[in-house]
A and B are shown apart, each in its own frame.
Chain A
Amino acid sequence: GAGVSQTPSNKVTEKGKYVELRCDPISGHTALYWYRQSLGQGPEFLIYFQGTGAADDSGLPNDRFFAVRPEGSVSTLKIQRTERGDSAVYLCASSQGARNNEQFFGPGTRLTVL
C-alpha cells in the first residue's frame, strides 16, 4: 500500500514569507509526527498528533510554527515569517497507534529560506 507522502518535495521561499507543508499519513494510522532535520543533524521532534489533537507540541521552536490535523488524517505544518534558520528537511511519520508501534517516515520536504 501507499506509504507516507509529503508535499511539496522542495520549497524555496523568501525570508518573512508564510509556508505550508503537507503530510498524508498511511491510511488508518491514528498517530502522526513531525520532525525537522537540519544539515548534518539527526531528526528533531516537533509535534505529535493522536487523532485530531496535538498530544505533544513541546518540540515546536517558537510561536511561528503551528500544525493542524483537522480530520485526523492529513496534517499541515505552517510556518509564519520564515527565517533562514528554518531551512531544513521537514519529516512526517505516522503509526497505527503510539508507543509500541513503528513510525513510518515520509521522504520529507526540503525547505530553503533565502
Chain B
Amino acid sequence: AQSVTQLGSHVSVSEGALVLLRCNYSSSVPPYLFWYVQYPNQGLQLLLKYTTGATLVKGINGFEAEFKKSETSFHLTKPSAHMSDAAEYFCAVRKSSGDKLTFGTGTRLAVRP
C-alpha cells in the first residue's frame, strides 16, 4: 500500500520568501511522485513529476522538487513566492506499475504582501 503525508495543512510566507512544502511517502515499490496545484474552483494542475532519472525535478511556475529515497521525501520548493502562488498544493504517489494516484491531504499556501 502507498500513502502520502503532507506536513502542515497551512503555510504562510511573505512575497519574495522561500516556499517549502513538505511531502513524505511510503511505498512498497519504486514510486512515481507528483505535485499538483489547485486554484479555487479549478481542476488540479500538474506542477511536476518524478518517474525515473534525475532526482531534482523542475516544474512550471518556478517550482522544483527533489526525490530523496533515503528520506522518503519529495519536498516542493520555490526560491521566491509570488502572490499568484496562493493555492492548495497536493503531493501524490503512484506505483510505477500502477495507474491510480494516492494523494496527501493538501497544504494551503498563503502569500502575504
- Residues of A at the B interface (CB closer than 8 Å) are 3-4, 31, 33, 35, 40-45, 48, 55-56, 59, 91, 93, 98-100, 102-108
Interfacial residues, chain B to chain A (CB-CB below 8 A): 4, 9, 36, 41-46, 49, 51, 90, 92, 96-106
A-B contact pairs, 16 of them (CB 8 A): A3-B43, A4-B43, A33-B100, A41-B105, A42-B103, A43-B90, A45-B100, A45-B101, A45-B102, A48-B99, A55-B99, A91-B43, A99-B99, A103-B101, A106-B43, A107-B42
Contact across chains for B41 and A107 when beta carbons are under 8 A apart: yes
Q: Which residues of A contact B102 (CB under 8 A)?
A: 45
B interface, over-half SS: loop
A48 / chain B contacts, CB cutoff of 8 Å: 99-100
Contact (A42, B41) CB under 8 Å given A98-B99, A103-B101: no
Q: How many A-B residue pairs have CB under 8 A?
A: 58
Determine the distance from Cα of A42 to Cα of B35 in the docked complex, in whole angstroms.
Answer: 12
In the complex, which residues of chain A have a beta carbon less than 8 angstroms from the beta carbon of B51? Answer: 100
CB contacts (< 8 Å) of B45 on chain A: these are 105
Q: Which residues of A contact B49 (CB under 8 A)?
A: 102
Query: How many angstroms between the C-alpha atoms of A48 and B98 in the bound complex?
Result: 11
Residues of the B chain whose Cβ atoms lie less than 8 Å from the Cβ of A102: 46, 49
Complex-state Cα separation, A86 to B101, whole angstroms = 21
Contacts of A40 in B (CB 8 A): 9, 105-106
Is there an interface contact between B100 and A91, defined as CB atoms closer than 8 Å? Answer: no
What chain A residues lie within 8 Å of B106 (beta carbons)? 40-42
Q: CB within 8 A of B99: which of A3, A44, A56? A: A56
List the A residue with the shortest CB-CB distance to B96.
Answer: A99
